[in-house]
Amino acid sequence: MQFVQSLNDQSVTMPIHHAPVERKTVTGRDVRIEVLTQGDGPVIVICPSLGRGAGDYDVVAGLLAMNGFRVLRPQPRGIGDSIGPLDGLGMHDFAADIALVLDDEHATRRPGRAVVVGHAWGSQPARMLAVDRPDLVSALVLAAASAGRLPPGSTEKPYGRLRWAIDGAGDPTRPEHERLECLRRAFFAPGHDARPWLTGWSVETHAAQTHARNTTPIDAYFAGGTVPILDLQAQFDAVVIPGVFQSLLGARVTVQEIPDAGHALAPEQPVSMATAIANFAGEFATPAATSRTERNLSGSRERSSSWK
């Protein structure tokens, strides 16, 4: 497959026209999950960050879809057309929502395990899914992801760094200038525009996901089963303590850093994020895999533009 688009500017705002988005709903148990789907090929699932939805990854998903992957973006409960109980949920419940989507994909299209990308909070149900349903997951990409465990000797609280700013960023009762300060402190690298993230928050989803994090034991999902992991770190991430996954899980963890990005990552460096995911997913995607040739969607350090 020939590389279909080269982008040098990370701040892509135009739609990715050649990879149209389709929306469907998957119903099961007491939930209905809306899924944004794009492309055809080995499956990549993207799980969004705390209190936010699939729209944050429009450019990332479009680039992946244009270059040989099928991308599924389930909307969390309470966002878009996804509905279901929000009280008393644990991490197993959010993982089950993703499993529902993948089971439907297998039933309606084709079988094969997926590479699951979890961004920030999304890394937690992604890891839970790999534990609960290892038949569905071939590898994990943990993007700007706090581990939930701490390095030896640390006195910090797990998931506690800049908690006030993370929770304040999506609080609609706060003045805009306070929310912008929260976004700048917790989510965006120096010099980046935080205003796009003044919108796109769900207070109800945020609360339900926070409850799941606080009530599910970290040991239940920390390791993400036994699959390979890409720890995709952001250079200026003020929230994440780096290096925890590899130090505790060893050789099955690969570490890569995205320059000039903060905890938000996707709106800051979408091309670099998509490139890193594509390179890693190409190694583990099933059933049909792309070549092992290194992919670079930006074209700036391109080794090969041929996609097999």
Q: Which CATH architecture best describes the domain 22-150+203-284?
A: 3-Layer(aba) Sandwich (3.40)
CB contact at 8 A, 270 and 37: no
Q: Is the pLDDT of residue 294 over 80?
A: no
Q: Is the pLDDT of residue 2 over 50?
A: no
CB contact at 8 A, 19 and 44: no
CB contact at 8 A, 158 and 305: no
Q: What is the pLDDT of residue 18?
A: 62
* Mean of pLDDT values over 94-104: 98
Q: Is the pLDDT of residue 304 over 80?
A: no
pTM: 0.89
Q: What is the pLDDT of residue 219?
A: 97
Q: Is the pLDDT of residue 1 over 50?
A: no
The residue type at 275: T
Confidence bin at 153 (pLDDT 50/70/90):
confident
Confidence bin at 286 (pLDDT 50/70/90):
low
CB contact at 8 A, 224 and 140: yes
pLDDT in tens, 114-149: 999 999 999 999 999 999 999 999 999 999 999 999
Query: Per mean pLDDT, which range of 8-17, 80-89, 211-220 is the poorest?
Result: 8-17
Q: What is the pLDDT of residue 140?
A: 98
Q: What percent of the chain has pLDDT over 70?
A: 86
Average pLDDT, the chain: 89
Q: Which residues pair with 187 in a beta bridge?
A: none
Confidence bin at 240 (pLDDT 50/70/90):
very high
Q: Is the pLDDT of residue 62 over 80?
A: yes
Q: What percent of the chain has pLDDT over 90?
A: 80
Q: Which residue has the tokens 């350090």?
A: 301
Q: What is the pLDDT of residue 19?
A: 77
Query: Per mean pLDDT, which range of 1-15, 151-165, 174-188, 250-264 is the poorest?
Result: 1-15
Q: Is the pLDDT of residue 300 over 70?
A: no
pLDDT in tens, 175-197: 999 999 999 999 999 999 999 99
Confidence bin at 154 (pLDDT 50/70/90):
confident
Residue 210, CA distances (Å) to 77, 156, 215, 237 in order: 13, 18, 9, 20
Could you count the other beta carbons within 10 Å of the beta carbon of residue 247?
14
